[in-house]
Structure 1
Amino acid sequence: MPSFRAAVEARDTEAIEALLAENVVFTSPVAFKPYPGKAITAAFLRGVMRVFTDFHYVREIAGPDGRDHALVFKAKVGDREINGCDFLHFDDNGLIDEFTVMVRPLSATQALGEAMGAQFERIQREALEAMGATEAR
């Protein structure tokens, strides 16, 4: 199984989703409350991939036990440059069960919020479709 970083850099949404635990909790830099569940987290990540351009990781920091990772990135949202970090925690099965994103500066964070807001209906629809497909199995 590829690393999360490798999956993101390859823009491999299936590999990214395969690395998420069913009970993953996604904490967005622009939303007040966290979003629990694999379907909504995967949908948010697909939405971010549609919004960010020139995305690339610049550094990876791992905890001594390998269960915590910080992936520092740079990207653009429209004409705004954004710097951020993905904080990942891995469960006992090696799947991501906590996913927190922080970004700066404020102007880029606001641009990200607007861009993701425009994606929100699609994100919700994708998550509901994925949950329906999972229940049908």
Structure 2
Amino acid sequence: MRAFREAVEAHDLDAVVELLAEDVVFTSPVVFKPYTGRAITAAILRAVAEVFEDFRYVRGIGDPGGRDHALVFTARVGDRRIEGCDFLHVDDDGLIDELTVMVRPLSGAQALAAAMGARFEQIADAARAQENPA
């Protein structure tokens, strides 16, 4: 999905969030249970943007007019290089209703899990604040 890729590459996380359906399902590469909802997905993506270094998309796969897209990326978490893929599905309104991320190698996934786990409370707080603005 071109808009998602451009927003991520521009580090425009507000634009990324606008592309998410309210009921988006986010499947993490390091957590068993998927997360549902725009608020938690946005909080996770904002934290990932802090964790990933040297992030860049290297290839897009999919039919430009279709509903399923794959964006292959490389990044670094600490001293671990990661290769991964964002799998996107869009709904009838053109919003992302499924986002699945896969990464390799195992040592990179473990580094990502540790870095994101250290931010768990911050992520949860950010999601609650977005769901219940003051």
TM-score (norm 2): 0.96
Q: Separation in 2 of the partners of 1:112 and 1:32?
A: 14
Give the aligned partner of residue 28 of structure 2.
Answer: 28
- Unpaired runs of 5+ residues, structure 2, are none
Q: Separation in 1 of the partners of 2:69 and 2:9?
A: 16
Question: How many pairs align?
Answer: 133
Q: CA deviation at 1:64?
A: 6.6
Give the aligned partner of residue 68 of structure 1.
Answer: 68
Give the aligned partner of residue 78 of structure 2.
Answer: 78
TM-score (norm 1): 0.94
Q: Separation in 2 of the partners of 1:51 and 1:18?
A: 21
| Structure 1 residue ranges (4+ consecutive) displaced by more than 6 angstroms after TM superposition | none
Q: Separation in 1 of the partners of 2:63 and 2:120?
A: 33
Q: CA deviation at 1:63?
A: 3.4
Give the aligned partner of residue 124 of structure 2.
Answer: 124
Q: Separation in 1 of the partners of 2:69 and 2:120?
A: 27
Alignment RMSD (CA, Å): 1.2
Within a 5 Å distance, the mapping from 1:94-109 to structure 2 comes to: 94-109=94-109
- Unpaired runs of 5+ residues, structure 1, are none
Q: Percent identity?
A: 66
